[in-house]
Amino acid sequence: MTTTSFSTPRDLLRYAITRFNGAKLFFGHGSVEAFDEAAYLILHTLKLPLDRLEPFLDAKLLDDEVLQVLAVIERRVTERVPAAYITKEAWLGEYRFYVDERVLVPRSFIAELIPQQFSPWLVDPDGVENVLELCTGSGCLAIMMADTFANAVVDAIDISKDALAVAETNIREYKLEGRVNPIESDLYENVPFKKYDLIITNPPYVNAESMRTLPQEYMVEPQIALAGGEDGMDLVRKIIAGAAERLTPEGILVVEIGNEREYAEAAFGHLGLTWLTTSIGDDAVFLLTAEQLQNAP
Residue type, 138: S
Closest CA to 260 of 289, 280, 239, 290: 280
What contacts 276, CB < 8 A, 6 or more positions away? 113, 254, 282, 285, 286, 287
Q: What's the first-to-final CA gap in the chain, in angstroms?
A: 67
Give the DSSP letter string of 41-90: HHHHHTT--TT--GGGTTPPPPHHHHHHHHHHHHHHHHH---HHHHHTEE
Q: Are strands 274-278 and 281-289 parallel, antiparallel or unpaired?
A: antiparallel
- Tell me the per-residue pLDDT of 179-226, one tens digit each, with 9 for 90 and over: 999 999 999 999 988 999 999 999 999 999 999 999 999 999 999 999
Closest CA to 203 of 242, 165, 175, 176: 242
Closest CA to 46 of 37, 36, 56, 54: 56
Question: What pLDDT, on the 0 to 100 scale, is given for residue 255?
Answer: 98
- Tell me the per-residue pLDDT of 139-192, one tens digit each, with 9 for 90 and over: 999 999 999 999 999 999 999 999 999 999 999 999 999 999 999 999 999 998
Question: What pLDDT, on the 0 to 100 scale, is given for residue 249?
Answer: 96
What residues of the chain score a pLDDT lower than 50?
none
- pTM, to two decimals: 0.94
Question: What pLDDT, on the 0 to 100 scale, is given for residue 296?
Answer: 81
